[in-house]
Amino acid sequence: MEFRYLGASGMKISEITYGNWLTHGSQVENDTATRCVRAALDAGITTFDTADVYANTKAETVLGEALKGERRQSLEIFTKVYWPTGPGGHNDVGLSRKHILESIDGSLQRLQTDYVDLYQAHRYDTETPLEETMQAFADVVRQGKALYIGVSEWTAEQLRAGHALAKELGVQLISSQPQYSMLWRVIEDEVVPASRELGVSQIVWSPVAQGVLTGKYKPGQEPPAGSRATDEKGGANMIKRFMNDTVLERVQRLQPVADELGLSMAQLAVAWVLQNDNVAAALIGASRPEQVEENVKAAGVTIPPELLSRIDEALGDVVERDPGKTAETAPQKRPV
């Protein structure tokens, strides 16, 4: 396993980070989820990312149980706040001071830890003054309940404003967690340059584009039974933007590149996001321990410039690059 500094901080994280979105507590039985976490630890992964909203808090509970007994100082545990949790009442959502201070306590209890290494704003809250949000995050840090703060799917402008307030308040905003893959490159033109300037790293989710970049979805064919594209609990909705024959045909053109590097298609996809020097980690999920063991082989891989060019040529105009997509896909108001 390779390790990278997170933003301008002195904390290192494993460049393959284990995330339990979509699986733990909802799609995968707890014993299997625990075996996946053990496989991650065995592979050298030290960084684990979750959120209170995943499986409506159950994912945090599963992760806390799976990590019980590990030396806490040897781990980096991240969680997030914003989306509705619990019964979804009028204050069970957003980035108000009330919701943040209540949510961190719930997350720590479920994760069975006194602190998280990184506490992240899971989205931007248009209904709470940014000053209130950042003051609450600063207080969480001062109380010793989080060491650093981060954000997820914020625009470059929002990131700059949040970072400036954090600096005024004497806390370190060091990370951004956006979607990023060979097919979804919307952060490259605005978010990444702003992040480099501010000392913020990316922790990217969906580097395999919800499984599309594994090559298992073939143009003109029905999705494999049991795959994310057939999952009605949320997976199918997330993946549908990529499920057209033009995209799937272009993805098949990546196989020779993967073969030349001695990688699987999934490993190629994870290794690709790690070529960006502003990316501190690629988030991987798993429903089976074997998936963890395979994906960690992307750590430490260098893709030569000529092969990066061949990837760009193979995918062509199916790649989404519009920086406006970050704002377009963000909630315009709280979901409840």
Rg over alpha carbons for the chain, rounded to the nearest Å, is: 19
Q: How far apart are CA 142 and CA 135, in angstroms?
A: 10
131 — phi, psi (to 5°)? -60, -40
Tell me how many degrees the CA angle 166-99-112 measures, rounded to the nearest 5. Answer: 90
Catalytic residue among 5, 18, 54, 119: 54
Q: How far apart are CA 290 and CA 292, in angstroms?
A: 5
Asked whether 336 and 92 are in contact (CB, 8 A), the reply is yes
28 — phi, psi (to 5°)? -125, 135
Known catalytic residue at 54 = yes
Q: How far apart are CA 107 and CA 104, in angstroms?
A: 5
Alpha-carbon distance values, 137 to 101, 128, 146, 250, 266 (Å): 8, 13, 9, 43, 36
Q: How far apart are CA 21 and CA 42, in angstroms?
A: 20
Task: List residues with catalytic annotation.
Answer: 54
